[in-house]
Structures are given as C-alpha cells and as structure tokens.
Amino acid sequence: MHQKNIMWLAAVTLLPVLFALAVQYDARKNSGTVYVEQPTPAPVSFILNTANPEKAQTTFRLASKLYGKGVHTTVFLEGAGVLLVHTPFAKEAGYEGEIIVCPECLKLYGIDKQKLPDNVSAITTDISAGMHTRTTDSSAVPQ
C-alpha cells in the first residue's frame, strides 16, 4: 500500500511540471524560436583529444556529414588525438574539411611537423603557447 501512495504522490507532483513544460514548448514552437534555419550555417569545430578508434570514426563521420551540407567544419587534434594524424579515419569518412593539430602535442608524441599529410596543418605556436601546462618531456607520454 505504501508503494502505491508514493507512486500517486510522484504522479500528482510531476503532472503539473510536465504540463507546464508542454505549454512552454508549444509556445516556443509556435513562436519560431525553437529552431530557426539560418541562411548561412555557423561553423562547427570538433576537438579530438583521444586516439580511440570509435570516437575518431564518429567524429570524422559527423564532421563529414556537416561538411557535405555546406557547414565549415574544423577538426582539432590535440593530446593523444595527434596520433590519428597518419590514420585513414578522415579519408574513410570522406571528410574534406580542415584538420588542425597542436604543435606542442606533436612534439610530445614525437611526430615531425614537416611530415604532416597535405590536408593537416599545425596551429601557430603563438596560439598554442601556454595551452598545455604539462611538460613536453616524452617520458610523460601515456603508454
């Protein structure tokens, strides 16, 4: 019996809240402020700081779909994400947008900035300076 009372109390408490949310949503939906299509979509940036294949694949697929719809996209590889620089994830996903990498992270992971693929560029050190407080000692690289 006690459990039924708790369920009724929860239902009675939640119903007015849900009703208020539905009314607010309906008002916004009809006002045109829930989703307004813009003539020029805003640029989208993705930060990928892992070499996890699933996350990389998902990121590049999403970036590719947006890029294909005319959205300016940038994928920024930092941390362990710079290890993806020579992998085929972007190519397999059909991603043709901008890929930039952190020069400090390239150093940290022993990747030569001069050997980056054509579609990848490193941000300038004046932008990346102070971005990472960790050491650039290669012994600090996670194994």
Of the pLDDT bands very low, low, confident and very high (cuts 50, 70, 90), residue 83 is: very high
* Closest to 142 (Cα-Cα) out of 54, 50, 57: 50
CA dihedral 112, 127, 57, 66 (to 10 degrees): -130
Computed from CA positions of residues 42, 47, 51, 53, in that sequence, does the dihedral angle turn out positive or negative? negative
Question: What residues are paired with 87 via a beta bridge?
Answer: none
What length is written for the chain? Answer: 143
pTM above 0.95, yes or no: no
Tens of pLDDT, residues 107-141? 999 999 898 988 898 887 666 556 665 544 545 55
The pLDDT, as a whole number, for residue 143 is 47
- Using a 10 angstrom Cβ sphere, with 0-12 exposed, 13-18 middle and 19 or more buried, the burial of residue 105 is buried
